[in-house]
Amino acid sequence: MAEVPETKVPGAKFAWPDILRLKHDTLSKRHKIFLLANAVASILLVSAGAAVHILHRGSLAAFCVNTIAIVPTSTLVSHSTKQLVVKLQLREHEFLSGLIDAIFGLASLVIPTAFKIFSDAGESGLVAISRGGAVMLLVIFGSYLYFFYYTHRRRHTIESLVESATSATVCFGATNSTQQLLRLRQASLNKKSDKLSYTVHITIMIITGFFMVLSSIFMLEAIHSPNHDIGVSKSFVGLVIVPIIIGAAEHVTTALRARSRRKEEIEWIIEFVVSSSIRTTLLILPLAVILGWILNIPGITLFFDGFQVILLSLAILLMNYVIHGGMAHWLEGVMLIGAYVLFANAAWRYPNEA
């Protein structure tokens, strides 16, 4: 991929770096609108969130504005991360792309989790068990990375991602079949694809990541306001409202892809669902425990109460049934939506903190 030459400014002693300009042959019109809309929304919403936080700290308005502000910032972080992963995979840098995808792919979850560490408290016995479990989970996650991106990267042939999911070989979107699909798809659309440099994507990630940190901090400082002001259950806020807002952009993208009914799009949807769950379980949760251990904060554990364990178990059983069927139809979609509504209703009534 040829580098875009620097633009010389008449009378100036320097050339504008490519991050300060977007040439017409670099981005499609649709991509420009996408980046511009999310950038403007990020600046406006983050600014509004900061202002409301300063004027009405811990209020319901501060919670709502800063929660919504996470949507465009996390969208840009996710977009830049995926573009970097594709570029690295096309250049055979599989292991590095896996690390980037794992670390930044769920940045909107990592940041609130890390911030929440500073306000929790727990029990020593449970903490010791959680720390041991966290270390083991990270070892398993590292083994998955090493297996799929290094030792057995070229062993697997192109296969259906649905089959990969049902045989428990999906690792946060890091299967060899995913890599091959990425290469084939990118190669076929190479002439039509948007060509931005690594510098542009990394800069977007850093700037929007900073905005997302601010919004996440302001949101978490007002996390109890919905319960105090309008009587919304804390469990409902933590299990339903916050996840929906944070993942809104990718949820919409997934729904639009599902409408196409093409086999490769359905495979990407299954990859998204399974990979997000595995990354959260094997990376985000244990990292939070390890970070609390390093900072000598004993309150971060892998403990889930009975309500959360039952919901998680039922969700796993239902998803296992849907994936192992080998085909999808509208009835299974109704089952999944109905199960989610039942879980949300239970979270609304459940009195404890999520």
Q: Are 63 and 219 in contact (CB under 8 A)?
A: yes
d(CA 248, CA 179) in angstroms, rounded, equals 25
d(CA 30, CA 336) in angstroms, rounded, equals 32
pLDDT tens-digit map of 161-214: 444 444 433 443 444 444 444 454 444 444 444 566 667 777 877 788 788 878
pLDDT tens-digit map of 19-59: 334 444 455 677 778 778 888 888 898 899 889 988 888 88
d(CA 201, CA 81) in angstroms, rounded, equals 8
d(CA 235, CA 281) in angstroms, rounded, equals 19
Q: Which pLDDT score, from 0 to 100, does residue 124 have?
A: 53
d(CA 3, CA 99) in angstroms, rounded, equals 25
pLDDT tens-digit map of 224-243: 888 788 888 878 887 888 77
Query: Six-digit token pair at 130?
Result: 């959680």
DSSP of 297-354: -TT------HHHHHHHHHHHHHHHHHHHTSS--HHHHHHHHHHHHHHHHHHHH--S--
Helix axes 198-221, 29-55, angle to 10 degrees: 30
Query: Six-digit token pair at 182?
Result: 């990425």
**Res. 67 pLDDT band, cuts 50 70 90:** confident
Residue 71 CB-half CA count within 13 A: 19
d(CA 201, CA 198) in angstroms, rounded, equals 5
Higher local confidence (pLDDT), 268 or 134: 134
Task: Please give the average per-residue pLDDT across 267-289, as a whole number.
Answer: 71
Each domain of the chain, given as residue ranges in start order, spans: 27-303
Say if residue 126's pLDDT is above 50: yes
Higher local confidence (pLDDT), 98 or 275: 275
Q: Which pLDDT score, from 0 to 100, does residue 242 have?
A: 78
Q: Are 173 and 101 in contact (CB under 8 A)?
A: yes
Whole-structure pTM value: 0.57
Please name the amino acid found at residue 24.
Answer: H
Strand 7-8 versus strand 15-16 pairing type: antiparallel
Helix axes 60-90, 248-260, angle to 10 degrees: 50
Mean pLDDT of the chain: 68
Say if residue 140's pLDDT is above 60: yes
Say if residue 259's pLDDT is above 60: yes
CB-based burial label for 260 (10 Å; 0-12, 13-18, 19+):
exposed
Query: Six-digit token pair at 204?
Result: 């977007």
Q: Which pLDDT score, from 0 to 100, does residue 63 have?
A: 87
Indicate the range of 60-64, 128-132, 178-182, 230-234 predicted with least confidence: 178-182
Higher local confidence (pLDDT), 133 or 277: 133
Q: Which pLDDT score, from 0 to 100, does residue 21 have?
A: 43
Name the nearest CA neighbour of 85 among 157, 5, 149, 37.
Answer: 149
Say if residue 7's pLDDT is above 60: no
Give the phi and the psi of residue 8 in degrees, each rounded to 5.
-80, 130
Say if residue 327's pLDDT is above 60: yes
d(CA 161, CA 264) in angstroms, rounded, equals 9
The share of the chain scoring above pLDDT 90, in percent, equals 1
Task: Please give the average per-residue pLDDT across 297-311, as a whole number.
Answer: 73
**Res. 75 pLDDT band, cuts 50 70 90:** confident
Q: Are 213 and 50 in contact (CB under 8 A)?
A: no
Q: Which pLDDT score, from 0 to 100, does residue 24 have?
A: 43
Task: Please give the average per-residue pLDDT across 299-325, as a whole number.
Answer: 75
The share of the chain scoring above pLDDT 70, in percent, equals 51
Say if residue 77's pLDDT is above 70: yes
